[in-house]
Chain A
Amino acid sequence: MITKDRIDTYINKIPPTPKALKDTLMFLNAGELTKAAKIAQSDLALATYLKELLNKPIYGFKNEITDVSQIFGILGVSASQQTVYNYMMTLLSPAKWQLFKLNARVFHELQAKLSKRWEQILNHLDIKDKNIHSSIALLPASIIVCEALFSEKIDDVTLLKETKNIDYNTILTRLCGVGIFDICEQISIKWEMPEEISKIVQASSGVKPIEDKQLNTLGKWMHLLLFYELSQSIFIEAGLNDFVDFQVEYVNDIYEEFATLMEIA
């Protein structure tokens, strides 16, 4: 159905980071917001993306925000970096979703929701590392990868999924020995993202715990957060609820804390 070669071709096709983004990230890394904003302004698509994001209701601003430097100022260094990564992810997303009933707007919504809640979690855990902040940006890559690999074989996978309750990650791992989250890691390497990012996202798959205790706990939070969001009706309708397996035992020890933080009654 899907072969190792197909995966390799897919990874090879991932475009390298555009120059403007690379520079923006470099300046953000150095903490120079104004310089970063200047370069970001030159990439019109990025500028539009940022504007659309900040004017979403979840950010709750009264007036429209249009200026990129203002946006970076509001977000701060770590959130700006994360947002730029989020933007890079959208470059990878398909023009037309077939496997999942998504579109650019819904996908953007998912990114925004994940980012905002991840920030809330990190504040609660008192973690300020900006790479950890950015790690959430890589998570939706798993959905993109899944869509890209399986959309050609929709009939086969639906038949398979009708017969047995089996998720995409398991199908891929069993067929090729490589999981969806392994491919996400490949993407992060190709885009020269910091190492922690891919580690946390790997742990957040719920099936590959890592040794580093702090990163593993963050993986748990991310796993639970992912399913918290995927339990929202718009993503259930998109068919995302069971694209990977939810590991209830893995997140058991942080569930109470999560529930209090998200105010789940």
Chain B
Amino acid sequence: MRAIVKNGVGVFSPQGFLDGNSSSSFLSIEDIAATASLKVDMILISLKKVVFFNKNGLDTFMKLFIKVRQENHATVGFCDYDEKKYNAIKTFYQDELNFSLFKSLELAYLFSSSFKNQNKNVLLYGEDKSQRSAMAIELHDNGHNPIIAQNAAEFKEKSSKKEAYDYIIDNTFLGQMGQKVATRVTGNAIIYSISSFLDAEIGNKFNIEYHKNSLNVGFRLFIFDAYKVISMNVHALNFFSRLASSGAEYNATICFVGMSFEKTTKSFKETLEDSGILFYEQMDDILKNKELLQELGASSAANSKTKRVINKQTVTELPRFIDATVATIEMMTNSKAIKQSAQVQNVTIVEKEGKIASSIGYYGAMDGMVILVFPKEIAKKACELLIGEKTDDMEMVLDTLAELVNIVGGKI
């Protein structure tokens, strides 16, 4: 069984009964290896369609968890359970609960470091005080506004006003969190939150793929939120210097905010400054200062490095792109596509009304981006198979369209 990845979270959904015999069959050695090499922030097991499980059944997944943690520092755990299952898991693993439990997949997205919808009002409650604070900190790092209920009565009262919050969290447990560097996007800047001691491990914790992609897409301002950093050593220094110089060809700027050099050698600061990293006292010094933002390149996403010319290699591969797109749309709509003509030309979309687009980038032997522009109706039709019904919810259509281009990408 393979995990289904969406928004940086990989989910397994076993069905039926999980015991020692069955759950080991869900995960072959190859499956575990494939999962561990996924570039994701979280690996979760959904218990939504499981009616029965025992400790042996869950133990099999522990192997997966350990492997995933070792290889890519992602958060691991279970999701989609009711209160009964939650209590059962807590009883099974009383003192050794080092994985996380999320009441639903949606709530898990809030804690994943690459979730795009940010600034949500989240009400949270947990019996354990340290858990409550841990969750609040994680949520805050990921760019949300957590509201903590201090006791059960307060939670009950507050949660009765459902419309006041985007999400309500209870029956959730944060085990050893993924140590990935949390990422959020504000305007045209990307903010990474780093904390405690920075050493050679930073190379593993930092999602370099994401950073590279952001550079390719055209982001030019990267801010490291370093309020909680205690100190760094020479390996981390090395890492940041290299990051700065590799970003230089994209004209990118890297800033540190709130870094105190109380316990770090002063000369490190100079070295970092030499490699082009800027230091600021507070986040607002950058984000509230429009002129500075413009200067740092956060005002426009256009980037000279990302402009590429069409070359022979791309043109020879074009038929494959076209075929893959045609095949996907045919598959999803059960209709027949007729190729009218194919030529390379400048595209100007005159009428933007009633059209939607989705894009997917690819990097490797060839770099580039495929953009599919649909009339709204065709897009809806193409997504019907994935959504299941006709819908006018544009957000949902766009979301599904992203899955669709993914399939196109898979077919190429």
Which positions in A face B, CB cutoff 8 Å? Answer: 1-3, 153, 156, 159-166, 170-171, 174-176, 224, 227-228, 230-234, 236-237, 241-242, 245-246, 248, 251, 255, 259, 264-265
Contacts and interface: CB of A to CB of B under 8 A. Distances in A.
Contacts of B4: 161-165
Contact of B51 (A2, A166, A242, A251): A251
B386 A230 contact: no
Nearest to B19: A231
A176 B334 CA distance: 9
B262 to A, nearest CB: 49
Q: Interface extent on B, as a size class? A: 35 or more
Contacts of A264: 17, 52
Contacts of A161: 4
A241 B407 contact: no
A227 B406 CA distance: 31
Interface string B54-91: 10000000000000000000000000000000000000
Contacts of B33: none
Given A162-B2, A248-B48, A233 B25 contact: yes
Contacts of B403: 163-164
Interface in B315-350: 330-332, 334
A248 B22 contact: no
A231 B54 contact: no
Given A230-B16, A246-B15, A251-B51, 17 more contacts: A156-B331, A159-B410, A162-B2, A163-B407, A163-B410, A170-B388, A176-B334, A227-B16, A232-B22, A233-B21, A233-B22, A233-B25, A236-B25, A246-B16, A246-B49, A248-B49, A265-B54
Nearest to B400: A164
Given A237-B25, A251-B51, A231 B16 contact: yes
B155 interface: no
Interface string B370-392: 00000000000000111010000
Interface of B: 1-2, 4, 11, 13-19, 21-22, 24-26, 48-52, 54, 330-332, 334, 384-386, 388, 403, 406-407, 410-411
26 contacts: A1-B332, A2-B334, A156-B331, A159-B411, A160-B407, A161-B4, A162-B2, A164-B4, A164-B403, A165-B13, A166-B386, A174-B384, A174-B385, A175-B385, A224-B51, A227-B16, A227-B51, A228-B16, A231-B17, A233-B21, A236-B1, A236-B22, A242-B1, A248-B49, A248-B51, A265-B54
